A and B are shown apart, each in its own frame.
Chain A
């Protein structure tokens, strides 16, 4: 299955709280899992990415947790700030013949209340 299922569709968090967005996949050929952040009126931008040979990657307040056996990965935003309010997309990359392809989740709209 060439799908990445992302949840929740929308999320409201208080300032200082933890935001958690989850993604699940079926295809074991996926070997690259990026998260993109999109602000209103802008294109998505790479936030953080992980490969399946590690279980966690942290960059500042943003952490990806990866569970290979469960085929799930999640984005945790610690100490969430109003400036983190955006749409977040997970994705999964794989080899398709001679090319690389990226399958996108449907996105999560995050609102952080001040």
Chain B
């Protein structure tokens, strides 16, 4: 079982460049999430989606956009990358009912120079 797959695993960008991180899940989960993880700051929620075609802002949404055109995919976009966006990005998904565990991908390590 693939679970949650994130693409790419590593990427280096220059300041001002744009890119899209792809998350795909094969568990038919309703909810999907994008987090960033920085040393000493735990997991911070960027955006999330409670269903196909819906998105919502999380704790740190500035500088990011998301889209959920298909239930199985959740895309995270950086329109103009900044060094402060250097981080490890995790995607997660969960069933759309109360207290279901979030299933995480293995992350995308992004460096902005």
Which A residues fall within an 8 A CB radius of B?
9, 31-32, 34, 41-46, 49, 51, 89, 93, 95, 99-100, 102, 104-107
CB pair B42–A106 under 8 Å, yes or no, is: yes
Inter-chain CB contacts under 8 Å: number: 47
Which of A42, A49, A99, A106 lies in contact with B101, CB distance below 8 A?
A49
Q: Which B residues are CB-close (under 8 A) to A43? A: 4, 90, 92, 104-107
CA distance A31 to B90 in the complex (A): 25
CA distance A32 to B56 in the complex (A): 22
Chain B residues within 8 Å of chain A by Cβ, number: 19
Closest B residue to A32 by CB, please name it.
Answer: B99
Q: Which A residues are CB-close (under 8 A) to B27? A: none
CA distance A7 to B83 in the complex (A): 29
CB pair A34–B101 under 8 Å, yes or no, is: yes
CA distance A32 to B43 in the complex (A): 18
Can you list 24 A-B pairs with a CB-CB distance of less than 8 A? A32-B98, A32-B99, A41-B106, A42-B107, A43-B105, A43-B106, A43-B107, A44-B43, A44-B102, A45-B103, A45-B104, A46-B101, A46-B102, A49-B99, A49-B101, A51-B99, A89-B42, A93-B98, A93-B99, A95-B98, A99-B56, A100-B98, A104-B44, A107-B42
Which B residues fall within an 8 A CB radius of A?
4, 40-44, 50, 56, 90, 92, 98-99, 101-107
Q: Which A residues are CB-close (under 8 A) to B90? A: 43-44
Closest B residue to A47 by CB, please name it.
Answer: B101
Q: Which A residues are CB-close (under 8 A) to B41? A: 106
